[in-house]
C-alpha cells in the first residue's frame, strides 16, 4: 500500500509541480533573508532536531531482526562489485554530499572569517558527513531486510521504508510528521545553498539587489524544474524511458552526479593547482590553522592525485579507456 501511494504521487505531474512551486517559494524566502537571518538561522534550528530524531530511530533499528544482515550489507566489502562505474558513482555521491563541484563551498567559503581554520573545518565537515551517512544507512536498511524490501537506492527508499518503521512505534502520526517535516527542511538546506550560489553571483556580477536576484533566479529555477516534476507522469518526453531505459529525472540525476559534478571538480582542481599562485593558496590555507604543514600534502593531492584519479574514472566510464582488468 505504501509503495502504491508513493508511485501514485510520483506519476502525478500536477501534484509534483504544485510542491515544486511551494518548495521554491520556501527556498526563495530563506535566501532572501540573507546569510545570518536566513540560511544560518534555519540551519542551526532544524539540523540538530533532525539529527536527534535520526539517532533515536537508529537505536530502535538496532533491535530489529534485520540489523545484523543490514550491518553486513553496509560494512562488509564485496570487491566483486568494485569497478570503475561504482567508483565514479561513489565519487559523484561524495561530491554531492560535500557540495563539491556545485560552487556551494566556494560561495560559503567567501563568507568565512579570515581567521577560520580551513583544514580543521574541512576535516570536521567530512567526518560529520560520513558519520551521518552511516547512521542513516544503519537506520534504514535494517527495516529493508526485516520487512522484505529490495535493498536498492532511489528516492522511494526513504518514503517506503520509514513509514513501516513508524507504524511499529508508539505515537506514529506525531513522530512520522515531525520526522518528515524536518526531513523536508534538511532537503531545503540543500536547495537554499544551491540557489545562494546563483543569487550571490548575480549580485556581485550584475550589481543586482538581493530581492531582484532571488526573484529572477528562483523563477527560472522553477521553470527548469517542471520537466523533472513531470518525468514520472510520462506527459513530457513520452519516449524517454523507452530510449534511455530510465525516466528524465533518473537521467538528470545520473548526468549530474556521474558526469557534471566530477567534471566540475576536475576543472576546479586544475584551476586551484595551476591558475592560482601557490603563495596565495598557502597564505589562505595557513590562516588560523594549527597544522600549516598539511599545506604541502594538500597541494600535492590537489595538483597531481585528484585530477589524475578523477580523469581516469571519467575516461573509463565514457568507454575511452578500459581498466576492467584492474578493477
Assigned domain for 325 exists: no
pLDDT tens-place string over residues 83-107 = 766 776 777 678 777 877 777 777 7
| Residue of higher predicted confidence among 254 and 88 | 254
pTM of the model: 0.77
Contact present, 31 and 215 (Cβ < 8 Å): no
Give yes or no for residue 211 having a pLDDT over 90.
yes
- The domain tally of the chain equals 1
Measure the CA–CA gap between 86 and 76, rounded to whole angstroms.
16
Match 553486513 to its residue by C-alpha cell: 72
Q: How far is CA 196 from CA 56, 208, 228, 271, in A?
A: 32, 14, 21, 22
Assigned domain for 74 exists: yes
Give yes or no for residue 225 having a pLDDT over 90.
yes
User: Domain range for residue 13?
Assistant: 2-318
Question: Which residue pairs, CB below 8 angstroms and at least 24 apart, start in 296-300?
Answer: 298/119, 299/273
Give yes or no for residue 40 having a pLDDT over 70.
yes
Measured N-to-C along each axis, helices 306-318 and 261-270 cross at an angle, to the nearest 10 degrees, of 150
The whole-number average pLDDT for the span 46-64 is 84
Assigned domain for 91 exists: yes
Question: What pLDDT is attached to residue 327?
Answer: 52
Assigned domain for 56 exists: yes
Question: What pLDDT is attached to residue 192?
Answer: 86
| Residue of higher predicted confidence among 154 and 240 | 240
Assigned domain for 290 exists: yes
Assigned domain for 324 exists: no
The whole-number average pLDDT for the span 34-63 is 80
Assigned domain for 323 exists: no
CA 226 distance to own-chain centroid: 20
Assigned domain for 327 exists: no
Amino acid at each position: 500500500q505504501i509503495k502504491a501511494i508513493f508511485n501514485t504521487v510520483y506519476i502525478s505531474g500536477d501534484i509534483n509541480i504544485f510542491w515544486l512551486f511551494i518548495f521554491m517559494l520556501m527556498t526563495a524566502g530563506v535566501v532572501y533573508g540573507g546569510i545570518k537571518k536566513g540560511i544560518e538561522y534555519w540551519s542551526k534550528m532544524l539540523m540538530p532536531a533532525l539529527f536527534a530524531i535520526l539517532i533515536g530511530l537508529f537505536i530502535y533499528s538496532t533491535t530489529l531482526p534485520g540489523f545484523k544482515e543490514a550491518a553486513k550489507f553496509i560494512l562488509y566489502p564485496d570487491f566483486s562489485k568494485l569497478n570503475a562505474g561504482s567508483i565514479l558513482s561513489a565519487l559523484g555521491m561524495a561530491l554531492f554530499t560535500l557540495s563539491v563541484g556545485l560552487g556551494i563551498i566556494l560561495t560559503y567559503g567567501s563568507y568565512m572569517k579570515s581567521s577560520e581554520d580551513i583544514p580543521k573545518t574541512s576535516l570536521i565537515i567530512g567526518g560529520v558527513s560520513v558519520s551521518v551517512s552511516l547512521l542513516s544507512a544503519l537506520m534504514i536498511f535494517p527495516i529493508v531486510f526485516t520487512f522484505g524490501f529490495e535493498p536498492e537506492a532511489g528516492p522511494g527508499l526513504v518514503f517506503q521504508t520509514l513509514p513501516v518503521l513508524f507504524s511499529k512505534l508508539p505515537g506514529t502520526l506525531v513522530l512520522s510528521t515531525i520526522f518528515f517535516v524536518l526531513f523536508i527542511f534538511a532537503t531545503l538546506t540543500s536547495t537554499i545553498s544551491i540557489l545562494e550560489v546563483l543569487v550571490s553571483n548575480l549580485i556581485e556580477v550584475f550589481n543586482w539587489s538581493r530581492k531582484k536576484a532571488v526573484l529572477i533566479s528562483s523563477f527560472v529555477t522553477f521553470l527548469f524544474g517542471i520537466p523533472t516534476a513531470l518525468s514520472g507522469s510520462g506527459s513530457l518526453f513520452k519516449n524517454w524511458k523507452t530510449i534511455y531505459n530510465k525516466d528524465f529525472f533518473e537521467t538528470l540525476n545520473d548526468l549530474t552526479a556521474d558526469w557534471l559534478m566530477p567534471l566540475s571538480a576536475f576543472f576546479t582542481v586544475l584551476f586551484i593547482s595551476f591558475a592560482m599562485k601557490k603563495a596565495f593558496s598557502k597564505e589562505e590555507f595557513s590562516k588560523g590553522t594549527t597544522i600549516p604543514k598539511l599545506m604541502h600534502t594538500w597541494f600535492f593531492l590537489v595538483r597531481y592525485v585528484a585530477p589524475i584519479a578523477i580523469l581516469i574514472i571519467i575516461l573509463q566510464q565514457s568507454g575511452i579507456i578500459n581498466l576492467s582488468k584492474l578493477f
